Amino acid sequence: MEKKAKTVAILGGQWGDEGKGKIVDWAAGYFSVCARATGGNNAGHTVYLKEGKHVFHLIPSAITWEKVDCLLGNGLVIDPFVLLQEIKVLNEKGYTTNNLFISGQAHVILLYHKVMDLSLEKAKGTGKIGTTGRGIGPPYADKMHRQGIRINDLLDKKVLYEKIIQNLIDKKSSFDTDNFTSKLLEVIPADHFFDFLRQEIQSLGNKPSLSETAQLLTELYFSAGKKIFLYVADIHQKLDAAQVLGKNILLEGAQGLLLDIDQGTYPFVTSSNSSLGGLNTGLGISHIDEVYSIFKAYTTRVGSGPFPTEINDETVQYLREKGQEFGSTTGRPRRCGWFDAVITRYASGINGPKAIITKLDILSGLKTIKICNSYRYLGPKRLFNGEIYFKGKIIRDFPADSTIL
């Protein structure tokens, strides 16, 4: 990295899991601020602390450096109970979280979002996205519908109740309201930390009215808000002040370019902008000095969707075992493929030309290593982005659409 650089971004160049976290861990000590802009606890990043293995989902791993302020920007969707669990576990391991700051404008993932995430996936059948099931898409949809609940709303019981009841009324048709209590119970994580939540939801009984459900959810999320209150800050102002003071700032991207809602393999994407643009909107930051895209020396993808260089022979087992290619959040085995230079070319156009390649060592031992430089289109003739696609056409520029790939 250039010495004079002050605000540096680390972004995923593929479908996530490129090793961004490792780079952030390594670099964090050189920075005063580390910020996340998008996504939620769909992300997962395993590190080995002195106490052993630890998986971060929401909080940047730089939190273990007391002198580094860790910021969660307005572009995130935050499950308050998952956040509180992460804070508790870190505190129990002896790490202070006094250096954590959360935007009051970030949106909240509520239990009903997780119910919606799962039922939307079920309804899609074989066309499912393969989401992480953490309820990411629905709060982003609410945000765009201008009916989302933000962290600041958790701090005002009246406002919170009004927003929750309105959301329940609007979403009523997409819920099986007869089984709503059992649906809410299904999406509560098994961990003992969430036992209180399970008990409270159970107390609703079989057929609660919407207002009873809204009342209980208000109590639960208001109590979470009271605990989170201490961490809430104006993230844009903090970043602005840090830049004025000439502090080094590290921006930690989540997921990867091809999971970006606009630039990725739509619709098999996440619901936020995981490319460079997401950093600007998700943090309200005025400038970024250096941007690095991280690529694995091969490619992986979790969930459904196109994957041009996917490997379908025994090499997958080799890469999966040697590279430990299992999802940090869901434990799902990752799909594996060869390095795809069409993607790197695309990433360079969107995120900029600087790249870091990780996990090259995993390829050692393989007799043949393949690299893809272009695709051959095999589908029916069609128009896409103003061009005619016909069988046999050679594609050098990544077409970000699942019907072409």
User: What are the residues binding ligand IMP (CB under 6 A)?
Assistant: 15-17, 42-44, 129-132, 134, 136-137, 255, 259, 270-271, 302-303
HSE, side-chain direction, 13 A CA sphere, residue 110: 30
Residue 41: which of 11, 96, 9, 85 has the closest Cα?
A: 85
List 17, 69, 79, 340, catalytic entry: 17
- Distance of closest approach, residue 302 Cβ to ligand IMP, in angstroms: 4
C-alpha 191/C-alpha 393 separation (Å) is 51
- Distance of closest approach, residue 20 Cβ to ligand IMP, in angstroms: 9
C-alpha 167/C-alpha 142 separation (Å) is 9
**Whether 257 contacts 269, CB under 8 Å:** no
- Distance of closest approach, residue 373 Cβ to ligand IMP, in angstroms: 25
State yes or no: is 45 an active-site residue. Answer: yes
- Other CB atoms within a 10 A radius of the CB of residue 302 amount to 24
List 45, 57, 107, 113, catalytic entry: 45
- Distance of closest approach, residue 248 Cβ to ligand IMP, in angstroms: 25
- Distance of closest approach, residue 206 Cβ to ligand IMP, in angstroms: 29
State yes or no: is 170 an active-site residue. Answer: no
The nearer residue to ligand IMP, 229 or 266, going by C-beta atoms, is 266
Cβ-proximal residue to ligand IMP, closest one? 303
C-alpha 405/C-alpha 376 separation (Å) is 10
Token couple for 227: 């605990």
The nearer residue to ligand IMP, 213 or 271, going by C-beta atoms, is 271
**Residue partners of 324: CB distance under 8 A and separation at least 6:** none
Burial of 140 (0-12, 13-18, 19+ CB in 10 A): buried
The nearer residue to ligand IMP, 132 or 263, going by C-beta atoms, is 132
The nearer residue to ligand IMP, 40 or 284, going by C-beta atoms, is 40
**Whether 111 contacts 134, CB under 8 Å:** no
The nearer residue to ligand IMP, 7 or 131, going by C-beta atoms, is 131
Active site residues: 17, 45
